[in-house]
Structure 1
Amino acid sequence: MAIALSTLVDEAERYLNSASINDYCPNGLQIEGRPQVRKIVSGVTASQALIDAAIEAEADVLLVHHGYFWKGENPCVTGMKQRRLKALLANDISLLAFHLPLDVHPEVGNNVQLAAQLGITVEGPLEPGNPRTVGLVGSLAEAQTAEEFAQRVKQVLGREPLLVAGPQMIRRVGWCTGGGQGYIDQAVAAGVDLYLTGEASEQTFHSARENAISFIAAGHHATERYGVQALGDYLARRFALEHQFIDCPNPI
């Protein structure tokens, strides 16, 4: 079955309520390809490797979390950017990208999807009353050591996380996928035992140690693989389309 590209885009934007979210990049259709869609390929970042894989998979739409045209970037279409755009346009593949709307969505969002993978029960936002905070807080069914929870993260995400182990058992968890290490202060204020995100900064270690909480950096890419898969599955079910998630490994 095929549907109009415009129908797919409209539904994705409606479902994610993307127009209401102020972001660092344009959300929605970033590059327009063929007008009919039969197959969606999804992935985390619209890298050349993912584009090449989408071409080989005969995708009509490439659906990603990290697309193009970020605020402050050089607008010139040269080098790496030219090669990526040329490949998509030459193969008539549309690029559909959602950044913050895919982080915060209550059903297919990166944060709720990661919680489901790790067995965390979502309780609410990391910082109540702040609409720009994308992280969440929740709890584990049973208390465990930081090392035990880090082992669970390793098993699920398939990579060794960076762990700063605090003194207490882990029951209450705060998290924000991707580059959310800057929210560790909000996590401390929320009274969590452990804060988990994708990346770490030099000062993150000191914040965790001096506030006596545990911290895990599990990888930007690794923590954000699940939202785009869930969105692709939703759109495929909604319109009876084919959907294939392609993971291009990234150690960061």
Structure 2
Amino acid sequence: MKEISVNRDVLAKYLDAKLETARYRDYCPNGLQVEGRAEIKLILSGVTASLALLERAVELKADAILVHHGYFWRGEDMRVVGQKQRRLKLLLENDISLFAYHLPLDMHPELGNNAQLARQLEIDASSRFGDDDLGWLGKMSDPEIKTVGDLACHIEKKLGRKPMLIGDAAQLIDQVAWCSGAAQNLFDKAIVAGASVYLSGEISEPTVHLARESGTVYLSCGHHATERYGVAALGEYLSQHFGCGHQFVDIDNPV
């Protein structure tokens, strides 16, 4: 069977349009971050462009890496030294392209992290809330999931990680709010939106008090665990659209 390739620049242009990257004011550059070989036969996708993911790409002879967390974040040290140098050196020596999409991947209505997380957890999305409509609101499709405790058990089965529950596990569920990753800053807006429970990836000390005082339960489900599904779905979509190969690699992360 003949291997099908897609041109790197064609792929970059297509992704920028598909994910509407120009819409977002982000903390990093979205799109092609490191330029590799011109023709791409195999795309390897993963959550974060860690050294472990890069080494796996070299092992699999991938031509491009597609991630949610790439490089060149606002406020980081601009020098190419230490771990940044080692990562970039590995990409450049092996002529591998790096594509990274942060907020555009969170937000896509079908392939994005929040849309795919809802699909995994069987939540029917109905509306958005918060700045730039980053937060999602909906209801559980399974009528047997009645309480927040039921939802926490469901999440553990689906994501393979026990969420931290702050609040009353016996609370009945009406509206479910969610935003993948480090989105605890939307918790207050989820409360205003009328959510019975809000789930995201991370939690910090003030969030505990807000959950206890507001009566809206907070579920911390893991940054990595909530953001595995968008990039995998996007990679598979590209494989179907262009005919190139794709493989998702899950580099375990307990956070």
Structure 2-normalised TM-score? Answer: 0.95
Deviations 1:38-71 (A, max 9, x none): 0000000000011111111111010000000001
User: Do residues 162 (structure 1) and 170 (structure 2) align?
Assistant: no
User: Residues 9-158 of structure 1 correspond to what in structure 2 (within 5 A)?
Assistant: 9-127=12-130, 130-131=131-132, 133-141=133-141, 142=143, 143-158=145-160
Secondary structure of 2:174's counterpart equals strand
Q: Which runs of 5 or more structure 1 residues have no equivalent in the other structure?
A: none
CA distance, structure 2, for counterparts of residue 38 and residue 124 of structure 1: 38
Equivalents in 1 of 2:201, 2:247: separation in Å? Answer: 24
CA RMSD of aligned residues (A): 1.0
Q: CA deviation digits over 1:71-99, x for unaligned, max 9?
A: 11000000000000000111110000000
Higher mean displacement: 185-194 or 157-166: 157-166
Give 1:158's aligned amino acid.
Answer: G
Q: Which residue of 2 aligns with 1:220?
A: 223
Unaligned regions of 5+ residues in structure 2, if any?
A: none
Aligned partner of 2:199 in structure 1 is: 196
Shift of 1:212: 0.7
The count of corresponding residues between Structure 1 and Structure 2 is 249
Secondary structure of 2:73's aligned partner: coil
Report which stretch shifted further, 168-177 or 79-88: 168-177
Deviations 1:91-146 (A, max 9, x none): 1100000000000010101001100100100011123xx42x41100011325111
Moved more, 67-76 or 168-177: 168-177
Counterpart of 1:248? 251
Measure the CA separation in 1 of the matches of 2:57 and 2:149.
38
What SS is found at the alignment partner of 1:171? coil
CA distance in 2, matches of 1:57, 1:124: 40
Q: Which amino acid aligns with 1:116?
A: R
- The percentage of aligned residue pairs carrying the same residue is 49
